[in-house]
Amino acid sequence: MARAALLIAVVLMVTIFSTGSSGHSNPDNEGPIVIEWFVDNSDGDATEIEDNLSHLRYDPGVLWLSWHPGVMVTDDPVGNHDGSVRAERMGIEELPAFRTELQPLDGREDGNTSDVESQLEDYVTNTTIERLAEITLELQINDGNEREGYDELVVQAMVTPLTNLSDETVLYFMIVEWSHASDESTHRPANVVRELMPRSGLPRTAGESGMVEFIFDAKYLDPANIIIEPEHAERWGVVAMLSGHDIGSDSPRSALPGENETILATAVATVPTRWQLATLENSLPWIIGTLVIITAMAMVIHAERRREMELPKVSGKLLPAPSAGNQIRYRVAIDIKVGSLPAELLKVDTSPPWKIRRAPKRQILAPGSESSWQLDVRADEEMAHRGVNVHVSFTVEGAGDGWVMDLRLKPPRDDEEE
């Protein structure tokens, strides 16, 4: 049991320190496919389309972003200004609408027809995306308890173009609400973009790398009503999306007419929880306390196990015997198996209303020995329904005096033994 307790302690420490101090993502040059869904959450028909395509939100090959343009929605609790900005840039004039890799679905103005589900699934199934840049994304937290939720969310992206990019290339940081606490009063969409921040100071030459950083503090989080609770931070994430033009081997320049803007790279990271942010310094008291508790539990369990091996074990049962006058009489069969230490049998007695006869005498019992006795117990006839409590008292060498083993025996007609 002590080994098990030690194993638990090791697992706890590994769990704590295997989680880093920041959320992060690894670069992936082959996707995922970006699907942008522009919708009014109060539109029941659009909600049905979203539900029918909900499996795409959990597809590792799909990055589903839900936009809710504030100027185009009516009673949408997550309608926001940044959704309006994105809708205008994507040429959205009517909701609901899809943009796949910045373009409408093939043959559809906005993709809001009755067969949009099958059309979108066919697009996802038959489309592969090659990215032209690498992004490594890391999140860090600053929390001084100055506001509800984390105070600041620090986003750092290491960007490395794999080809030369146009001067119009922009890196977008998006705070995304992956999921929301259960609210039965209204439909709550998933993967909602709640805050959008474009950044331009990035490398645009193939092979160069540069760090782009931005801090989402109270002046950004509060107007967007973003509250990232430390215990449930995994409900939030950050998407970095590099959008621009591939100019090949050309020197840095602006995009030319006909050169389509594309999504050059994406990266995703989930906001770390309080436990994932734990460092050795602030975790040390908790670790020490946990180890002390586990060690104490192991010592108690070990002591109990050792005591169990040292002490005698007593078992018994009631057997019928001829009655005498107005008294009911039973025979008590007692078996004693001595533990690892020598024991002295001091006394065998019963609780009222039963009286005992032919009790074994005081005697020394050798370690590991087994002994059996039969004794009589009697009580008035009207007490025949009462169970018999037999007390066997010992002194155990090395474990002290005053050990009493209790046998609670029921009359044999109940066909039970304890």
Q: What count of other Cβ atoms lies within 10 Å of the Cβ of residue 412?
A: 15
The C-alpha atoms of residue 267 and residue 269 are separated, in whole angstroms, by 7
What was the pLDDT predicted at 328? 85
Percent of the chain past pLDDT 70, that is, above it, reads 85
Mean pLDDT of all residues in 137-161:
91
SS (H, E, C) 155-181: EEEEEEECCEECCCCEEEEEEEECCCC
CA dist 240 and 397 (Å) reads 73
Please compute, for residue 126, the number of CA atoms within 13 A of its CA located in the half-sphere on the CB side: 8
Taken as a whole, the chain contains a residue count of: 418
What is the share, in percent, of the chain residues with pLDDT greater than 90? 33
Q: Cβ contacts of residue 407 below 8 Å, gap of 6+?
A: 314, 315, 316, 332, 334, 388, 389, 390, 391, 392, 418
Tell me the pTM: 0.64
More reliable by pLDDT, 116 or 296 = 296
Confidence of residue 184 (pLDDT cuts 50, 70, 90): low
Q: How many CB atoms lie within 10 A of CB 399?
A: 17
Are the C-beta atoms of residues 190 and 254 closer than 8 Å to each other? no
DSSP 147: S
| For residue 188, pLDDT beyond 90 | no
Instruction: State the pLDDT at residue 80.
Output: 93
pLDDT, residue 409, reads 86
CA 152 vs. chain centroid, Å, equals: 24
pLDDT for residue 393 is more than 80:
yes
- Can you tell me the distance from the alpha carbon of 298 to that of 281, in angstroms, rounded to the nearest whole number? 26
Task: Identify the band that residue 42 occupies on the pLDDT scale cut at 50, 70 and 90.
Answer: confident
Of the two residues 408 and 13, the one the predictor is more confident about is 408
Q: Give the C-alpha separation, 268 to 24, whole Å.
A: 8
Range with top average pLDDT, 215-219, 277-281, 363-367, 382-386: 215-219
The answer to whether 16 touches 273, Cβ cutoff 8 Å, is: no
User: Mean pLDDT over residues 292-309, rounded?
Assistant: 84
Predicted pLDDT of residue 109: 58
CATH T-level assignment (fold) for domain 20-270: Glutaredoxin (3.40.30)
pLDDT computed for residue 226 by the predictor: 92
Asked if residues 341 and 366 have their Cβ atoms less than 8 Å apart, the reply is no
What is the pLDDT at residue 321? 82
240: number of CA atoms within 13 Å, CB side?
31
User: What is the reported pLDDT for 172?
Assistant: 97
15: pLDDT strictly greater than 90: no
Distance CA 54, CA 135 (A): 27
The answer to whether the peptide bond before residue 353 is cis (omega within 30 degrees of 0) is yes
Q: According to the model, what pLDDT value does residue 388 have?
A: 87
Which one, of 303, 233, 290, lies nearest residue 13 by Cα? 290
pLDDT, residue 399, reads: 79
Alpha helices in 90-168 (DSSP H): 116-125
Most confident of 141-155, 234-248, 303-317: 234-248
The band of 244, judged by pLDDT with boundaries at 50, 70 and 90, is very high
Structure token digits, residue 161: 């173009």
User: Region 56-75: what's the mean pLDDT?
Assistant: 90
Residues 135 and 165 sit within 8 Å (Cβ to Cβ): no
Range 188-200 average pLDDT: 91
- Provide the angle, in degrees to the nearest 10, between the axes of the packed helices 2-18 and 280-310: 170
Q: At what angle do helices 44-52 and 116-125 cross, to 10 degrees?
A: 30
Tell me what pLDDT residue 21 has: 41
Confidence class of residue 17 from pLDDT cuts 50, 70 and 90? very low
Q: What 3-state class would DSSP assign to 315?
A: strand
Most confident of 8-17, 175-184, 252-261, 286-295: 252-261
Q: Report the chain's mean pLDDT, rounded to a whole number.
A: 83
pLDDT bucket at 2, cuts 50 / 70 / 90: very low
Q: How confident is the model at residue 1 (pLDDT cuts 50, 70, 90)?
A: very low
Q: Is the pLDDT of residue 417 over 50?
A: no
CA separation (Å) from 39 to 36, 42, 174? Answer: 10, 9, 17
Q: What is the average pLDDT across 107-113?
A: 58
Position 278 pLDDT exceeds 80: no
Report the pLDDT value the prediction gives residue 19, as an integer from 0 to 100.
39
User: Looking at residue 283, what is its pLDDT?
Assistant: 62
Q: Where are the domains positioned within the chain?
A: 20-270, 311-414
Q: Give the pLDDT confidence score for residue 273 in this predicted structure.
A: 86
pLDDT tens digits along 394-404? 888 887 777 88
Please report the pLDDT score of residue 29 as a whole number: 60
Q: Does domain 311-414 have CATH number 2.40.50.430?
A: no
Question: Which residue type is seen at 116?
Answer: V
Report the DSSP beta bridge partners of residue 216: 153
Q: Is the pLDDT of residue 320 over 90?
A: no
